[in-house]
């Protein structure tokens, strides 16, 4: 009788337990049947379906996020998650490495757990289904190409403590619309966010020193760039082909702007360099929409093609420039007059070619040479004043195809 009573109590306990939770069987890795208890009907849980090693002290887990749909333990899979857990750095991988163990698994989310310090090169390359990445506070480095071509990635956090974002790390991640970079980040590597065509807003940390070459090139919807005073160098083509860029704020501390940094930015109106800038590269604003430009007092050379075909440019302030390179102002058709600094010594070949709106020019007394065709096709120019003794590169062809009414006047120098 006592045994029967115990059995009845046990049966009642199981029934009561099953009323609150789904109980179901699933085959284990050793082939035996395991009885598992899920959450209540309608609740979610994660199930590991595969795993392996991805660092000396790191493992990866492919997880299914499941939701229980009935009391028999049946479930729907609502999300695939790739988790990286352990401590230390991930292995680096090669571009389009077919050996990536999780490539078969169409995960929508990556969770890098606390303890991980580095994401390996090309670790999640071209995962078109990836939508979200969660990064830990222990992370120091994101390797090159790590999230390159993840075209559905729209959500990612950049934790304080992160110091390096590798080259092409987020190249062509077209779903990103805004990012906030931490104060700890000191350098953005080459092409890190290039071709993020829907990226509208970037908030930079206040310890950033270098924006690498092409770091944000072809971010077609980027509207403003405001760099902290810690930035000393803007790399080649860093913001070129940003067709919606309207405002750029550069602060004291910046020393160098490399070639084509803001090339092809047709909606940019004003460009002002802080007086800490000492060197600029060629074509930094070529084909842009700028109307006014202020050049740093420490810049001595305007390189070739710097303002090439800036067809809305009206005013340029260049206080201490000594040399203007070839094609520097080619086809800047809205410039009517320009004040050349007293420090100017050389005007390069075709420097003002095609500036058809230019009406008058006074070349400073210290200028020793004017290059070939420097003012060709300046058809609106009525008068130019030159210092006696200045060397014209190819004689009067310096003014090739200018108006026949052009008056060339020479003045004495002290």
Residue 21's pLDDT is 44
Interatomic CA distance for residues 289 and 310, integer angstroms: 6
User: Digits of tens for pLDDT over the chain (414 positions)?
Assistant: 444 444 444 444 443 444 434 444 444 444 544 444 546 888 988 999 999 999 999 999 999 999 999 888 888 988 999 999 999 999 999 987 676 889 888 899 999 999 999 999 999 999 999 999 999 999 999 999 999 999 999 999 999 999 999 999 999 999 999 999 999 999 999 999 999 999 999 999 999 999 999 999 999 999 999 999 999 999 999 999 999 999 999 999 999 999 999 999 999 999 999 999 999 999 999 999 999 999 999 999 999 999 999 999 999 999 999 999 999 999 999 999 999 999 999 999 999 999 999 999 999 999 999 999 999 999 999 999 999 999 998 888 999 999 989 999 999 987
Residue 39's pLDDT is 64
List the domain boundaries for the chain. Answer: 322-414
Residue 72's pLDDT is 83
Q: Report the CATH number of the 322-414 domain.
A: 3.80.10.10
- Which residues have CB under 8 Å from 9's CB, separation 6+? none
Nearest alpha carbon to residue 195 among 246, 157, 237: 237
Residues 178 and 155 sit within 8 Å (Cβ to Cβ): no
The answer for 169, left when phi > 0, alpha when psi is -120 to 50, beta otherwise, is: alpha
């Amino acid at each position: 009788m006592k045994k029967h009573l115990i059995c009845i109590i046990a049966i009642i306990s199981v029934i009561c337990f099953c009323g609150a939770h789904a109980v179901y069987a699933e085959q284990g890795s050793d082939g035996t049947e395991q009885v598992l208890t899920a959450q209540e009907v309608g609740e979610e849980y994660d199930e590991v379906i595969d795993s392996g090693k991805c660092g000396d002290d790191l493992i990866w887990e492919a997880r299914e996020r499941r939701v229980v749909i009935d009391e028999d333990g049946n479930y729907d899979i609502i999300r695939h998650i790739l988790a990286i857990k352990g401590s230390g750095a991930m292995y680096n991988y090669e571009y389009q490495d077919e050996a990536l163990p999780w490539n078969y698994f169409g995960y929508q989310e990556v969770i890098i757990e606390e303890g991980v310090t580095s994401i390996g090169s090309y670790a999640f390359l071209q995962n078109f289904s990836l939508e979200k990445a969660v990064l830990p506070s222990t992370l120091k480095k994101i390797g090159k190409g790590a999230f390159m071509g993840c075209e559905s990635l729209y959500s990612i956090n950049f934790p304080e403590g992160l110091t390096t974002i590798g080259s092409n790390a987020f190249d062509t991640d077209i779903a990103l619309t805004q990012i906030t970079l931490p104060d700890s980040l000191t350098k953005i590597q080459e092409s890190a966010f290039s071709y993020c065509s829907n990226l509208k807003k970037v908030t930079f940390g206040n310890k950033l020193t270098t924006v690498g070459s092409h770091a944000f090139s072809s971010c077609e919807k980027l509207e403003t760039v405001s760099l902290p005073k810690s930035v000393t160098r803007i790399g080649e083509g860093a913001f070129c082909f940003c067709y919606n860029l309207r405002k750029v704020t550069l602060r004291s501390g910046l020393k160098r702007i490399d070639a084509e940094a803001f090339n092809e930015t047709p909606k940019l109106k004003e460009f002002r360099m802080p007086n800490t800038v000492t060197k600029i590269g060629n074509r930094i604003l070529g084909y842009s929409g700028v109307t006014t430009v202020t050049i740093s007092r420490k810049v001595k050379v305007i390189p070739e093609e710097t303002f090439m075909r800036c067809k809305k440019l009206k005013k340029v302030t260049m206080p201490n420039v000594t040399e203007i390179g070839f094609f520097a102002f080619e086809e800047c058709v809205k410039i009517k007059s320009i004040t050349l600094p007293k420090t100017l010594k050389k005007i390069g070949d075709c420097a003002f070619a095609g500036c058809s709106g230019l009406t008058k020019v006074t070349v400073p007394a210290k200028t020793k040479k004017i290059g070939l065709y420097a003012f060709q096709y300046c058809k609106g120019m009525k008068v130019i004043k030159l210092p006696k003794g200045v060397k014209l590169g190819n004689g009067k062809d310096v003014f090739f195809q200018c108006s026949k009414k052009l008056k060339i006047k020479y003045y004495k120098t002290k």
